[in-house]
């Protein structure tokens, strides 16, 4: 069974909700170890005692360097040392990345690790990569993201020949900014990828492609907009329904249908995102994660371990990429 190291101090609702989520995942049989301060009430889960904290506002690289005994760095080092198979944190994404680069290091040939997130598209999940690890990226980085996303789609989501598209502002080849126009050219010539052209953001939920490639800035804008819009729209629907007695009754009758919709579109259903490209598995959960999201992020990590995501990335990334 997978051994997952959990940063008990990561996220807006830490440590309370993180511990409850960890307990929920442990009940599935996952071997969860918490990393946090002495005296933390863990409900019986093993605790590795740490003395420092990295917060959301901290500068990632500085914080990782200056706080080696933080819950986050210690949890990641446990993976590097082989004491855990994966790390889960709902804390500072940049710090997870910085600590991962420092203590797990990159897979051979990987230029930049990237965040891969399953998007709840109409006919099954699409993989959005990079959802925020690299705010500024070069064209060749995005080509590598396309390869990592394809391996992820094939190995974890079971898509045999994943179709890849580039997130841009028009489907036509020439539409985009300087970065995407160059990436489009490179992807068109890249062997070993099923590149099908640009995707528009309006089609993300319609299942634009199996893998949607973006730089981390654009991908993060897209991911958060998707989540915010879904939340706001469902809230607005609830408010409208509560505004008359007729619609209140209607709201009662559609409750099971609305619940199915919420489950499908709820970001907590996935719980987290893989940080791909390191010599160890890291799952980044939302800063706002509650217990359910944390539990699902830990399950996602365990699934990644069982499916040997890191090993498969190492094996399957085309040699060409390992320049």
Which of residues 206 and 322 has its CB atom nearest to a copy of itself in the complex?
A: 206
Shortest distance, position 289 Cβ to a copy of itself, whole Å: 14
Under the binding rule (CB under 8 A), the answer on residue 59 touching a copy of itself is yes
Under the binding rule (CB under 8 A), the answer on residue 158 touching a copy of itself is no
Task: Determine the angle formed by the axes of helices 255-265 and 245-253, rounding to 10 degrees.
Answer: 70
Which of 20, 182, 227, 314 binds a copy of itself (CB under 8 A)? It is 227
Under the binding rule (CB under 8 A), the answer on residue 236 touching a copy of itself is yes
**Residues in contact with 114: Cβ distance below 8 Å, sequence separation at least 6, in sequence order:** 129, 130, 131, 133, 134, 141, 144, 145, 148, 149, 216, 275, 276, 277
Shortest distance, position 202 Cβ to a copy of itself, whole Å: 3
Closest CA to 128 of 269, 9, 224, 10: 224
Shortest distance, position 8 Cβ to a copy of itself, whole Å: 23
Under the binding rule (CB under 8 A), the answer on residue 200 touching a copy of itself is yes
DSSP 8-state secondary structure symbol assigned to residue 285 = E
Structure tokens at 212: 């949607």
Which of 34, 63, 204, 305 binds a copy of itself (CB under 8 A)? It is 204
Which of residues 184 and 299 has its CB atom nearest to a copy of itself in the complex?
A: 184
Question: Within positions 273 to 292, which residues make up the interface with a copy of itself, using CB under 8 A?
Answer: none
Chain-centroid distance, C-alpha 238: 28
**Residues in contact with 129: Cβ distance below 8 Å, sequence separation at least 6, in sequence order:** 114, 115, 116, 117, 145, 146, 148, 149, 152, 211, 212, 213, 214, 219, 276
Residues near a copy of itself (CB under 8 A) are 57, 59, 122, 132, 135-136, 167, 169, 172, 174-178, 180, 200-206, 215-218, 220-222, 224-234, 236-237, 240-241, 243-244, 246-247, 249-258, 260-261, 264-265
């Amino acid at each position: 069974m997978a051994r997952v190291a959990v940063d008990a101090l990561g996220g807006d609702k830490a440590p309370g909700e993180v511990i409850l989520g960890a307990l929920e995942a442990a009940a599935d049989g996952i071997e969860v170890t918490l990393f946090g301060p002495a005296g933390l009430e863990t409900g019986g889960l093993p605790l590795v005692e740490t003395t420092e904290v990295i917060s959301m506002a901290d500068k990632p690289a500085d914080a990782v360097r200056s706080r080696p005994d933080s819950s986050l760095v210690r949890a990641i080092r446990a993976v590097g040392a082989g004491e855990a198979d994966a790390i889960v944190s709902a804390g500072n994404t940049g710090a997870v990345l910085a600590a991962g680069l420092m203590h797990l290091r990159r897979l051979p040939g990987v230029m930049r690790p990237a965040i891969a997130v399953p998007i709840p598209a109409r006919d099954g999940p699409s993989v959005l990569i990079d959802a925020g690890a690299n705010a500024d990226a070069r064209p060749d980085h995005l080509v590598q993201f396309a390869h990592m996303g394809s391996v992820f789609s094939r190995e974890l989501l079971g898509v045999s020949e994943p179709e890849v598209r580039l997130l841009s502002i028009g489907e036509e080849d020439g539409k985009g900014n300087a970065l995407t126009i160059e990436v489009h050219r490179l992807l068109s010539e890249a062997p070993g990828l099923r590149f099908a052209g640009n995707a528009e953001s309006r089609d993300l939920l319609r299942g634009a492609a199996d893998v949607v490639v973006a730089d981390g800035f654009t991908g993060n804008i897209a991911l958060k907009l998707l989540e915010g819009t879904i939340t706001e729209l469902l809230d607005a629907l609830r408010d409208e329904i509560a505004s008359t007695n007729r619609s209140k009754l209607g709201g009662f009758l559609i409750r099971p249908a609305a619940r199915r919709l919420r489950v499908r579109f709820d970001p907590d259903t996935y719980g987290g995102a893989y940080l791909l490209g390191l010599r160890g598995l890291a799952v980044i959960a939302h800063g706002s994660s509650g217990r359910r999201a944390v539990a699902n992020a830990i399950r996602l990590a365990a699934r990644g371990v069982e499916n040997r995501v890191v090993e498969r990335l190492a094996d399957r990334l085309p040699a060409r990429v390992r320049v």
